[in-house]
């Protein structure tokens, strides 16, 4: 799977406007550059907040305009997933708002034989995509090291199915000089 931006693009976007997992996942799944995603994220307040909550993600997707739907807390066949890192902040009685600082957005594509995960933290592999097993066994433990009180567990809180962009169809038009009404398209 190709990603329309590079590790260098992601690093520059992080330095310039704080691009992180939310903008990265949206850009990868929508086939957009981070520069293209920036004004959409900014219009929804990302540059002031530097995080993407579910309401902001929904607003961003509405602005982009590709068909999408919420699918609960299951992996979509193609779309976005918000993961909750578990720890004391997910204990009963702790306000939901406290959990929001410990979440992460990824892209997902379920294929015939495997599931691919886009994670902005994986851009050093050239695409940001890895298998679900590599993500759960290697990437998640790495991320959880950033949260000393994390329990090592996680769960999906939000999943969004997104219509894949239709493949570009090659089109050939043959026009015949002298007859503007005769045109063949295939």
Q: How far is CA 149 from the centre of its chain?
A: 26
Half-sphere exposure of 118 (CA within 13 A, CB side): 30
86-110 tens-digit pLDDT: 999 999 999 988 999 999 999 999 9
Alpha-carbon distance 148 to 130, whole Å? 25
Question: Which pLDDT value is given to residue 176?
Answer: 52
Question: Which pLDDT value is given to residue 178?
Answer: 55
Alpha-carbon distance 106 to 23, whole Å? 10
Q: Can you give the pTM of this predicted structure?
A: 0.86
114-167 tens-digit pLDDT: 999 999 999 999 999 999 999 999 999 999 999 999 999 999 999 999 998 765
Please report the DSSP string for 70-129 in residue order: E--SS--SEEEEEEEE-SGGGSTTS-HHHHGGGEEEEEEEE-SS-EEEE-GGGGGGSSSE
At 156 the three-state DSSP class reads: strand
Full strand arrangement of the beta sheet holding 129-131? 68-70, 154-162, 78-85, 103-110, 115-118, 129-131
Alpha-carbon distance 81 to 127, whole Å? 18
- Quick check: 158 and 84 in contact, CB under 8 A? no
Computed over every residue of the chain, the mean pLDDT equals 90
Q: CATH top-level class for 7-185?
A: alpha beta
Is residue 2 very low, low, confident or very high in pLDDT (cuts 50, 70, 90)? confident
Question: Which pLDDT value is given to residue 173?
Answer: 46
Whether 113 has a pLDDT exceeding 70, the answer reads yes
Tokens linked to 4: 């329309």
Query: What's the mean pLDDT in 5-15?
Result: 97
Instruction: Sketch the domain layout of the chain as residue ranges.
Output: 7-185
> 106 forms bridges with which residues in the sheet?
81
Is residue 179 very low, low, confident or very high in pLDDT (cuts 50, 70, 90)? low
Residues in contact with 53: Cβ distance below 8 Å, sequence separation at least 6, in sequence order: 100
Phi-psi region of 56 (alpha: psi -120 to 50; beta: other; left: phi over 0): alpha
């Amino acid at each position: 799977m190709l990603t329309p931006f590079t590790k260098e693009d992601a690093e520059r976007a992080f330095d310039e406007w704080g691009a992180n997992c939310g903008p990265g996942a949206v850009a990868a799944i929508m086939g957009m550059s981070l520069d293209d995603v920036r004004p959409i994220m900014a219009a929804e307040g990302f540059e002031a907040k530097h995080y993407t909550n579910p309401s902001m993600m929904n607003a961003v997707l509405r602005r982009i305009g590709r068909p999408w739907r919420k699918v609960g807390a299951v992996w979509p066949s193609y779309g976005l997933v918000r993961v909750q890192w578990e720890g004391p902040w997910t204990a009963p009685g702790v306000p939901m708002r406290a959990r929001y600082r410990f979440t992460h957005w990824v892209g997902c594509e379920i294929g015939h034989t495997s599931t691919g995960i886009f994670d902005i933290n994986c851009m050093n592999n050239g695409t940001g995509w890895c298998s679900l097993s590599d993500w759960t066994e290697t990437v998640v433990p790495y991320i959880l090291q950033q949260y000393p009180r994390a329990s090592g567990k996680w769960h999906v809180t939000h999943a969004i199915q997104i219509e894949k962009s239709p493949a570009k169809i090659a089109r050939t038009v043959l026009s015949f000089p002298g007859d503007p009404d005769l045109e063949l398209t295939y």
